[in-house]
Amino acid sequence: MNYENLMRECFDLALKGRGKVLTNPMVGAIVFKNGKIIGRGYHRSFYQDHAEIDCFNNLEEAAEGGTLVVNLEPCSHFGKHPPCVDEVIRRKIKKVVISNLDTNPKVDGIKKLKDAGIEVITGVLENEGKKLNEKFFLNMKYKRPLLALKYAQSLDGKIATETFDSKWISNEESRAFVHKLRNDYDAILVGANTLASDNPRLTSRIDGGVNPYRIIVTNSLSLDPLSEVFLENSDNKTIIATNSTKDFDINAEIIRCKTKGGGVDLEDLLDKLYQRDIGSVLVEGGSVINNAFLRENLVDKIYQFIAPIIVSGLRSRSAFMGEGAKLISEAKKFRIDEIRRFGSDVMFEVNNVYRDC
């Protein structure tokens, strides 16, 4: 039997948890029996049931003798929830069809299923499954959030003019896509300079969207407490990440980080965010913060929008400014994985070649 179409449906179910599962994977599950689907479920959010349990809670008839199709190996550990494999066995499922193995070292679900006499098929649409959960697999491998940069630049590689004007380089269609992106990421990060010059809200303005954490990185304490991110804070998700030890009187949570090179130690910051279950960070910063993440080899992905304008100017800003490579052979290497058009703009989605999980 070919399980690809059922697996595709699991992916679609899994995607309903997009932006809500934090450091957990997106998982969809289906029970198939006597030629029809008798139940569907998915992992709705970080705190809610795993997909298999959600699916078992929505069955039209008993699952006994049926096939469970799920995009990730069912878990076998006690985390926030008891092991899914126990429930799969208790429900007398006959066969389990999986796309990806769970790289969480605590999980060894396939062995438990096989020991219970259940047939297990793995690797169905494996690459698509990996792409779907690229954040989760990176989290598991590096024990830190996936870090992506997003910026819009002109044809001549400028993200702002000599007078620091940067509104609006990309067009409306590109910006609508950015709102969708923000919904996919757990946190949006900017530096104090961007906060001062753009005063962004950093919210996701799409229907049913979840607002990401908003992180402001600063080594000084001269932030304007009336900036939008501190005002529009009903869900209390603005974080100031600083290496300063001074006190702030500001409407935000403060994360104190180690100091590196005179600023915030970014690796330490990512560790601290991961401890708070933040699995992905989108940097909408500017030249300095982009370069700081690049130099630390922490950039996993870039969304680069290119608008058909030319800014020119000796002092206009490019996306990365600061210390750079002396030789081309020392340049940081990425792979262009996707090229999309948004009206007159183009977007490259590029990934760090060393980060494949």
Residues binding ligand AOF: what is the number (CB under 6 A)?
Answer: 17
232 is catalytic: no
- Rounded CA separation 161/333 (Å): 27
24 binds ligand AOF (CB under 6 A): yes
Which of 30, 69, 75, 138 is the binder for ligand AOF (CB under 6 A)? 75
Which of 67, 104, 316, 352 is the binder for ligand AOF (CB under 6 A)? 104
- Contact between 65 and 39 under an 8 Å Cβ cutoff? The reply is no
The least distance separating ligand AOF from the CB of residue 237, rounded to whole angstroms, comes to 21
50 binds ligand AOF (CB under 6 A): yes
What are the structure tokens assigned to 265, written together?
């130690």
Which of 27, 98, 223, 269 is the binder for ligand AOF (CB under 6 A)? 27
279 binds ligand AOF (CB under 6 A): no
Q: Where are the beta strands (DSSP E) in 180-258?
A: 187-191, 213-218, 238-242, 253-256
The least distance separating ligand AOF from the CB of residue 72, rounded to whole angstroms, comes to 6
What are the structure tokens assigned to 225, written together?
């407490």
- Rounded CA separation 10/39 (Å): 11
Q: Binding segment for Zn ion among 64-72, 74-82, 260-268, 303-311 (CB under 5 A)?
A: 74-82
Total Cβ atoms within 10 A of residue 354:
10
Q: Between 104 and 242, name the residue whose CB sits nearer to ligand AOF.
A: 104
Q: Binding segment for ligand AOF among 23-31, 272-280, 281-289, 303-311 (CB under 6 A)?
A: 23-31
Which of 6, 70, 75, 241 is the binder for Zn ion (CB under 5 A)? 75
Residue type at position 227: S
Q: Binding segment for ligand AOF among 68-76, 159-167, 181-189, 325-333 (CB under 6 A)?
A: 68-76
The least distance separating ligand AOF from the CB of residue 36, rounded to whole angstroms, comes to 23
Q: Which helix (H) or strand (E) element contains residue 340? A: strand 334-342
Work out whether strand 253-256 and strand 259-260 pair parallel, antiparallel, or are unpaired: unpaired
Which of 10, 30, 84, 110 is the binder for ligand AOF (CB under 6 A)? 84
- Rounded CA separation 255/236 (Å): 14
What are the structure tokens assigned to 174, written together?
């590109």
CA atoms within 13 A on the CB side of 255: 24
Which of 33, 40, 43, 50 is the binder for Zn ion (CB under 5 A)? 50
Total Cβ atoms within 10 A of residue 213:
20
Which of 25, 66, 191, 279 is the binder for ligand AOF (CB under 6 A)? 25
Which of 6, 7, 22, 51 is the binder for ligand AOF (CB under 6 A)? 51
Residue type at position 190: V
Residue 28 interaction partner, one of Zn ion, ligand AOF, none, beta carbon < 5-8 Å per kind: none
72 binds ligand AOF (CB under 6 A): yes
Query: What does the buried/exposed string (b/e) look like for 8-46 if buried means 16 or more CB atoms within 10 Å of the residue's CB?
Result: bbbbebbeebebbbbbbbbbbbbbbbeeeebbbbbbeee
Binding flags for Zn ion, 82-121, as an x/- string (CB under 5 A)? --x-------------------------------------
Q: Which helix (H) or strand (E) element contains residue 179? A: helix 172-184
Active-site positions read 52
State the residues that interact with ligand AOF by CB under 6 A. 24-25, 27, 43, 50-52, 72, 74-75, 79-81, 84, 102, 104, 107
